[in-house]
Amino acid sequence: MSGRRRLTMAQALVEFLANQHTERDGLEQRLFAGCFGIFGHGNVAGIGQALQQYADRLPYHMARNEQGMVHAAAGYARQRNRLATFACTSSIGPGATNMVTGAAAATVNRLPVLLLPGDTFATRVAPPVLQQVEAAGGPEITANDCLRPVSRYWDRINRPEQLPAALLEAMRVLTDPAETGAVTLALPQDVQAEAHDYPEELFARRVWHVARPVPEPAALARAVEVLRTAQRPLIVAGGGVIYSEATDALRALVETTGIPVAETYAGKGSLPYDHLSALGAIGVTGTDGANAMAREADVVLGVGTRWSDFATGSHRIFADPDVRFVNVNVTAVDAFKHAATAVVADARAALGALRESLAGWQVDDAYRRAAADHNRAWDAKVEDVYRAGHGPLPSQGEVIGAVNDAADPRDVVVCAAGSMPADLHKLWRTRDPKGFHLEYGYSCMGYEIPGGLGIKLADPDREVFVMIGDASYLMLPQELVTAVAERLKLIIVLVQNHGYASIGSLSEATGSGRFGTSFRYRSDGGRDGDVLPVDLAANAASLGARVLVARTIGELADALKTAKESDQTVVVHVETDPAEYVTIGGAWWDVAVAEVSTSESVRAARAQYERDQQDQRLYL
């Protein structure tokens, strides 16, 4: 019989995590780079003691907000193409529920993170304990049950001997590209500290192979048959192209066949921005060329995309009445969307197989030239936005241009929510597959700074430019302190436009006149008063960052140069004109407008909405 070791459940958990590795294409790496945590009575004497005991095996990183630490883990996982991540531990109650939003963002974006929230006593000897949510439905329901619907796998370890089976299931999900997302193991605080004789095999070095599922031959043949009939094909590249490291395979297919490529948020960087077959962003925040070719496409090859409404223009952008879809995706639920010819496979494996099977077939020269013309025309429009010379306050587009000018090809831009993701999707000149990092699956305000922290931990040799609006900054600035404490350098471009800019413009478009979206004093009559005297630059300085204030694009360029030369986190504060929009590109987005209203502007918006709805369709 094999040997056994007497450890607390928490000690066994931490030692197990320290011995887990992933492997793909023969390259191995640690699955868990460490553990983020905030301690409370629900985990300090269990997980906290174990992390201290094994600090040389699984590094501990103190976070300042539980939601933020999950975002940081997700940012790390995305930068490592889902092959590595962090664990995150919290106390019970508010610490655990703070992680719900981060878990949802990770699961929506198919990013592996492991959550280890403390839980109430399994013995139930003294309920209700501090921070316990009493549920009339029974004592088995705790605050941690909030994490069930946003986790890909969820378990509660009520006895120490339950741990081995739960851990193996958790690792299976975390390392499966088709299943991955947030995994939650709820840990009652008494069970964390309880000792058990665990088998030595549990702590052996374990390597989880991350597979590249190959296309099923019949499915591949059906896809090739559809593609060979196409006159106006279009590839839509999603995040799966990046995660599977399939950008070279995509480029080879494109250059052989001439099929142009449009990119989702997660897929931006699948081709360099100046490749003549690169159409750039597609959909609601898309470029003129990508959306024009989408409207005419007769066959659409989606690769690694989950087909969100932004990519499809709320099912309105693919306008050919006979349009057909071919979807390549490692996840079956995404591969079969839009009644597609589905190829359930790894993106790199499938693109290579498609290239071989399509040998000798290509689009006609005129179609190839049309894509190149769209590419050049859009880049000229981007240049116009970058150099607009708007004043006295610069436009957001000019700020993006200044940051793009300052960034080297391998540097990373990070963003998540508000008006800036739309502008970045259209305007950022991406030159590296990992150079564009937007959390737009969940569009979670506050992701930016902790996400940037995770990226820097994953890839410390790259400069990380965090672009964040004032509203998102106010949501979650705390991990600035973590970046300072960890001596990790971020360049944070804090854009002040005094409100919720994207929702303000959406409110205006739907007839509500930016109601409730400006950061201003309350005044009589329900109107907005003067701008609030909020000093976010001073706030960032108080959190330990070096702060530079830029008032013009010239000053911004100088500040970014100084920031790049610095060895510490720098916040560059710049105010922009909230009335100056990027008006080029884009497509319709389905946002329901009130069917009846006393407002003439709302009634007009509703009439336009009903006209736009007529072009929506189901792809059957």
pLDDT in tens, 237-296: 999 999 999 999 999 999 999 999 999 999 999 999 999 999 999 999 999 999 999 999
Q: Is the pLDDT of residue 89 over 60?
A: yes
The answer to the question of residue 392 being in a domain is: yes
Strands, DSSP E only, in 345-486?
Answer: 412-415, 436-438, 464-469
Mark which of 192, 209, 226 sits at the end of a domain: 209
Indicate the residue among 541, 557, 575 that finishes a domain: 575
pLDDT given for residue 138 in this prediction: 87
Would you say residue 581 lies in a domain? no
Tokens linked to 84: 């590595």
Cα gap 93→191, rounded to integer Å: 17
- pLDDT tens-digit profile of 349-379? 999 999 999 999 999 999 999 999 999 999 9
Q: Is residue 598 part of a domain?
A: no
Please report the pLDDT score of residue 529 as a whole number: 83
Is the pLDDT at 187 greater than 70, yes or no? yes
Q: What is the pLDDT of residues 63-72, one digit of tens each?
A: 999 999 999 9
Mean pLDDT over the full length of the chain? 96
Does 162 share its domain with 59?
yes
Q: Are residues 235 and 335 in the same domain?
A: yes
Rounded Cα–Cα distance for residues 430 and 420 (Å): 16
Domain boundary among 209, 230, 256: 209
Do 204 and 245 sit in the same domain of this protein? Answer: no
CATH number for the domain including 400? 3.40.50.970
Burial class (CB in 10 A: 0-12, 13-18, 19+), 69: buried
Residues facing 572 on adjacent strands: 493, 548
**Structural domains counted in the chain:** 3
Q: How many CA atoms lie within 13 A of 182 on its CB side?
A: 34
pLDDT for residue 525: 63
* Peptide bond preceding 128 in cis form (omega within 30 of 0): yes
In a domain, 594, yes or no: no
Q: What's the pTM?
A: 0.97
Helices 247-257 and 347-357, interaxial angle, to 10°?
Answer: 20
The per-residue pLDDT for 526 is 60
Q: Is the domain of 409 the same as that of 333?
A: no
**Shared-domain flag, residues 242 and 342:** yes
What is the pLDDT at residue 126? 87
CATH number of the domain at 370, please.
3.40.50.1220
Range of the domain at 292: 217-377
pLDDT 10s digits, 98-130: 999 999 999 999 999 999 999 999 999 988 999
pLDDT digits (tens, 9 = 90+) for 560-617: 999 999 999 999 999 999 888 898 999 999 999 999 999 999 999 999 999 999 999 9
Half-sphere exposure at residue 188, Cβ-oriented, CA atoms within 13 angstroms:
22
Return the SS3 of 279. Answer: strand
Q: How much helix, strand and coil, in percent to the nearest 5, is found in the chain? A: 40, 20, 40
Q: What is the pLDDT of residue 527?
A: 64
Would you say residue 606 lies in a domain? no
In a domain, 596, yes or no: no
Q: Is 609 inside any structural domain?
A: no
Average pLDDT over residues 469-474: 95
Could you tell me if 519 and 562 lie in one domain?
Answer: yes
